[in-house]
Amino acid sequence: MKNLRTPIKVIIDTDPGVDDAFAILYALNRPEFEVLGITSIFGNAGIDLCTRNALALLELAGRTDIPVARGLANPLGKSLAEWEEIRQRFPRGAMNVHGDNGLGGAELPEPQVQPIDLPAMDFILETVKRYPGEIVLVPLGRLTNVAAAIIKDRATMEKLAGICLMGGTVRAPGNSTAVAEANIYGDPDAADLVMTLDVPKVMVGLDVTMKAIFHEADTQRLKSFNTKQGNFLVECSRHYDAFYRHHNPHLDGFSIHDVLPFTYLLHPELFEVKDAYVRVETRGRFTTGQTVADLRAFAKDKPNCTVCLDVDHRAVIEDFLETMSKSK
Ligand code: RIB
Ligand code: CA
């Protein structure tokens, strides 16, 4: 993704979500980003809660000028009932990671603003038509809205400047299954379709996000800024932190996964990357949702994605804290 003019026009597709909240507030506090809109997607909670949380976070940040478009409620080709059934079988239900309200139980006032009267996929398409070649789409959840927009109008989606997504993994273990990351596992058909779109794509997956750990000392620094937004993040991360400490005690903290696509856009030099041909396993016996990246020196297929393999993880956290120290 080259020669992006700042401010970079972004659309955030998100399922807030504790780490989504970290990412949204980070992006809103960086003048290098012009957030044109937020589209919601099911994932860390159902679509109603995720949409509500997106609106409430914008209100917290005093940015109700940014439109929110409601996204899809279930994966491509699956009914809500089938999705509910999958959710019951989910190895560790997403609701447990992010709490019952998706924001770790932390309360935000009922939003006063409503979502716009346009479904997420149409909002994405209309906005890309308005700014062809200028928009970076930043998906932080299942890729269902993005795939639906591709199915509806691929030619318009090819006018994106790029897609910089949180999802997938190449070398690190999965977090939904042994090999699959949650955003991809939650709708592998959508993710695979996105991989076929002919625009620059960056995959910011668990290989790097599981290194960007927010330790208690970082939480205390965030708290010391004593800003409304920072204090909210401290509160909403408590449940998420406890979840991480239970399941991944060796990490001694929690991952701020969804911040990293934004860090990448501003500081690509912090990341070690490799261009590769990436597709998603959609029908594996044990591997559904695996992002299969051909890293072989003699790979035959033309690379379709830049894959993040390593990161200066402390620099990511420092940059996040520095940004939030200036928040309101
Ligand atoms: O696997 C981590 C991803 O799943 C993050 O985007 C988190 O918010 C959840 O959606
Ligand atoms: Ca997310």
- Percentage of residues of the chain with pLDDT beyond 90: 91
Choice among 98, 257, 267, 313 that is catalytic: 257
What distance in Å separates the CA atoms of residue 84 and residue 88, rounded to the nearest whole number?
A: 6
| Average pLDDT value for residue range 37-57 | 96
Which of the ligands is closest to the CA of residue 212? 1
Give the residue numbers spanning the domain of 304.
8-324
H-assigned helices in the chain: 18-28, 47-60, 80-89, 94-98, 120-130, 144-152, 154-157, 182-185, 188-195, 206-209, 216-224, 228-247, 260-266, 313-324
Residue 1 maps to a domain = no
Residue 291 maps to a domain = yes
What distance in Å separates the CA atoms of residue 316 and residue 167, rounded to the nearest whole number?
A: 17
| Average pLDDT value for residue range 54-79 | 94
| Tens-digit pLDDT profile for residues 51-62 | 999 999 999 999
Residue 154 maps to a domain = yes
Q: What is the mean pLDDT of the chain?
A: 95
Residues with CB under 5 A from ligand 2 (ion): 15, 17, 20, 140-141, 258
**Tokens 């998706």, located at residue:** 102
CATH of the domain at 107: 3.90.245.10
Residue whose Cα lies nearest atom 1 of ligand 1: it is 182
User: Model's pTM, two decimal places?
Assistant: 0.96
Residue 215 maps to a domain = yes
Q: 25 pLDDT band (50/70/90 cuts)?
A: very high
239 has catalytic annotation: no
Q: For residue 140, how far is its CA from the centre of ligand 1 (angstroms)?
A: 7
Return the H-helix or E-strand segment holding 311: strand 305-311
Return the best residue to mutate from 14, 170, 183, 244 for the ligand 1 pocket (most ligand atoms within 8 A of CB).
Answer: 183
- Total domains, the chain: 1
Q: 90 pLDDT band (50/70/90 cuts)?
A: low
Q: Which atom of ligand 1 is nearest to the CA of 16?
A: 8
Residue 2 maps to a domain = no
Tokens of 311: 């990161």
What distance in Å separates the CA atoms of residue 224 and residue 218, rounded to the nearest whole number?
A: 10
Residue 29 maps to a domain = yes
Check whether 311 has a pLDDT greater than 80: yes
